[in-house]
Amino acid sequence: MVQSITIEEFIRLSEKLPVLDARAPKEFEIGHIPVARSFPIFSDEERAKVGTAYKQQGHDPAVLIGLDLFGPKMSKFVKQATKLAPEKEVLVHCWRGGMRSGAMAWLLDFSGFKVYLLQGGYKAYRQHIHQQFEKPRKLLILSGFTGSGKTDLLPYLQQQQVIDLEGLANHKGSAFGSIGMDPQPSTEHFENLLGTELLKLNDSNAPIWLEDESITIGRAQLPKSLFDQMQHAPTIVLQIPRQLRVQKLADEYCRTDKTLLEAAILKIKKRLGGLATKEALEAIETDNMEKMVEIALAYYDKAYTFELAKKQHVLQLELQSIDPEENAAKVLAFAKQHQLI
């Protein structure tokens, strides 16, 4: 039996049932429902062939070409679906809930599966995700100069609602941000990941803790509606002694491939200036990581100060340690003192 369901029902059922994405592999790669499995009815080349036929010859010839491509693979699809869903109950979608997901749902239904078909397809999911960014939310922003250990602190904010934006984006937000990280998702898929995290949170009066970010984190871009809310939210600024920040970053970068550090410095060459860039590259070559960090921080601290000036509700918290657990406890006490939580 095929049952057409709303995006809200689809997301609820996706917590326990496999989700099969019938779109082409390239579509899936650009962005997908995070729990979905790629289950393409057509390869990228086959999809292009059907699409070209539709444009040049019309609906009926394109459908026949699609059936010719789909038919020989039907047995394989049923076998694969059985492995993924031994209980024979699945969720299926394509781009708009059209012919691709419809054909896959028909085949699996014919083969004894209980199939839930997403009304409006992936497009409906994307609309639902964007709605999450438009909702007014109670946010609390954790900020501080580069090297303050903001990201390290997040896991220790016990019993708080926390979203690690840099973790979702696979980037630390600077020219050095991709070092040691997995490849970044597209902005579309970053939005999917972020929206999913927002959907997991309850609607209590407790704030959502986010790390302070610019609107772009590497190549991933924050939704403007959420970013604007972040700009107006209370911001706790960690004031860590500069030398502690230098030591922390130097310790991290001393284990990094020098060519990666050199490439990062060259990305900000225009902002550093020729002399500072030369000195930073020499410091990398001679393993003087503290000097390299000092030079880079001269730029990043200035840029941070400029951005911080745009904030409307800023609270400064002086700390004398870089220990994340210790600092998290102090941040929570500070937030309670100022009635933010």
The residue from 11, 22, 33, 94 that is catalytic is 94
Residue 44 corresponds to which tokens in the numbers above?
Answer: 């990228």
DSSP secondary structure letters along 150-191 = HHHHGGGSTTSEEE-HHHHHT--SSTTTTTT-PPPPPHHHHH
Which amino acid is residue 158, in one-letter code?
Q
Strand 216-217 and strand 220-221: the pairing is antiparallel
Please give the backbone phi and psi of residue 19, each rounded to the nearest 5 degrees, phi first.
-110, 120
Cβ burial of 247 (10 Å; 0-12, 13-18, 19+) is middle
How many degrees, rounded to 5, is the angle at CA 146 between CA 141 and CA 151? 50
User: Does residue 94 have an active-site annotation?
Assistant: yes
In Å, how far are 142, 149, 326, 328 from 320, measured between CA atoms?
17, 12, 10, 13
269 touches 279 (CB < 8 A): no
Which residues does the annotation mark as catalytic? 94
